[in-house]
Amino acid sequence: MTIKHTLFAMLAMVVLPAVALAQPVTPPVTPAPNTANIAVGSFFSDGNPNASVVVSLTCLSGTIAPSSATLGDGEGQIFVVSNIPTGEDNPCSLTQTAVNYYDTEYLCDPTAAIAGDVQCGNPSDLSTTSCSWSNVVADKVGYCAVYNTPEPVKLAVNKVWDITNSGGDNVNTATDIIIKCDSKIIGGYYSNGVWSYQKAIVGDATVTVAVYPDYEGSECEVMEPDLDSAVEIENGCTSVDIELGKNASCTITNTVFFEGIPTLNQYGMAIMALLMLGVGFVGFRRFV
């Protein structure tokens, strides 16, 4: 099922129960004589129960009731257009108030032309501005679904190597950064309820991904495979909070403690030789 079919299946579930309840404030989907109906549903992909928007319908001519409505996730409204003049085009447009940290897309009913209802100006494409109809006439119905998706935020994972002692630069600094989140990672893959992303790096590096946060906040974990025994890992990315509208970052520091084998320079070797000669001389004197 495509996103368009999904949206209109959701729209049907919003509008039809209102018709079944037959509440006085909710007109039926089928318009009354000499009127047109515009049905709209508003949806949040993360199911945010705290979000609300104001949807408004404007037309060149006619009377609109109501002219606007406040909707939450999964709620719908039917706008009634009456007193529509004949013999001239009556373009209408439906818009929604902006929601902080969400992207909004509009989709008009792509089957309107087949159903004989009011055809949208963009029947087959998602729009970022509105649902628009070039001519709303009496006895017709138009449909619009408004879809709100959290804006992706960036998670930057910084990898730092601290080479402490002599010889540590011989340690292999190639590794993989593995990011796991409970929300969608753009370019990642989904398995068993978790989104994952993996990238190979060498040395100091930064790996940045885009994550779609949930309205309650999401969580990511970053890890890397086991490394050389001389490497001590300080992982500041075991639990990273991902929130709407906020980029996040964390750091993994790998410290190399390379002890090696102690060696002496030429002066040390000379002193060592003299000491050994002295010890040998004392030993020789004891046995003679």
pLDDT digits (tens, 9 = 90+) for 91-117: 899 999 999 999 999 988 644 443 445
Domains 3-150 and 153-256 share a fold: no
pLDDT of residue 2: 44
Q: Give the span between the Cα atoms of 116 and 123, in whole angstroms.
A: 13
Instruction: Indicate the pLDDT class of residue 34, thresholds 50, 70 and 90.
Output: confident
Tokens of 261: 């084998």
Q: Average pLDDT of 17-45?
A: 66
| SS3 assignment, position 268 | helix
136 residue type, one letter: V
Instruction: Indicate the pLDDT class of residue 213, thresholds 50, 70 and 90.
Output: very high
List the chain domain ranges: 3-150, 153-256
The CATH class for the domain spanning 153-256 reads: mainly beta
* pLDDT tens digits for range 156-178: 999 999 886 655 557 788 999 99
Give the CA count within 13 Å in the CB-facing half-sphere of 271: 5
Q: Average pLDDT of 226-246?
A: 89
Global pTM value: 0.72
Instruction: Indicate the pLDDT class of residue 48, thresholds 50, 70 and 90.
Output: very high
* pLDDT at position 37 over 60: yes
Tokens of 233: 């890992």
Q: Average pLDDT of 73-98?
A: 92
Instruction: Indicate the pLDDT class of residue 231, thresholds 50, 70 and 90.
Output: confident
Q: Give the span between the Cα atoms of 32 and 21, in whole angstroms.
A: 17
116 residue type, one letter: G
Q: Which of 18-27, 171-180, 214-223 has the lowest mean pLDDT?
A: 18-27
Asked if 193 and 183 touch (Cβ cutoff 8 Å), the reply is: no
The side-by-side arrangement of strands in the sheet containing 248-256 is 205-211, 153-163, 248-256, 231-235
Encode burial over 8-31: b for 16+ CB neighbours within 10 A, e otherwise: bebbbebbeebeeeeeeebbeeeb
Q: Average pLDDT of 178-203?
A: 96
* pLDDT at position 143 over 70: yes
Instruction: Indicate the pLDDT class of residue 266, thresholds 50, 70 and 90.
Output: low
Summary mean pLDDT of the chain: 80
Q: Average pLDDT of 273-287?
A: 56
Instruction: Indicate the pLDDT class of residue 228, thresholds 50, 70 and 90.
Output: confident
pLDDT of residue 257: 74
Instruction: Indicate the pLDDT class of residue 141, thresholds 50, 70 and 90.
Output: confident
Instruction: Indicate the pLDDT class of residue 147, thresholds 50, 70 and 90.
Output: very high
Its CATH architecture, for the domain 3-150, is Sandwich (2.60)
Instruction: Indicate the pLDDT class of residue 86, thresholds 50, 70 and 90.
Output: confident
Q: Which of 58-72, 172-186, 253-267 has the lowest mean pLDDT?
A: 253-267
Asked if 68 and 56 touch (Cβ cutoff 8 Å), the reply is: yes
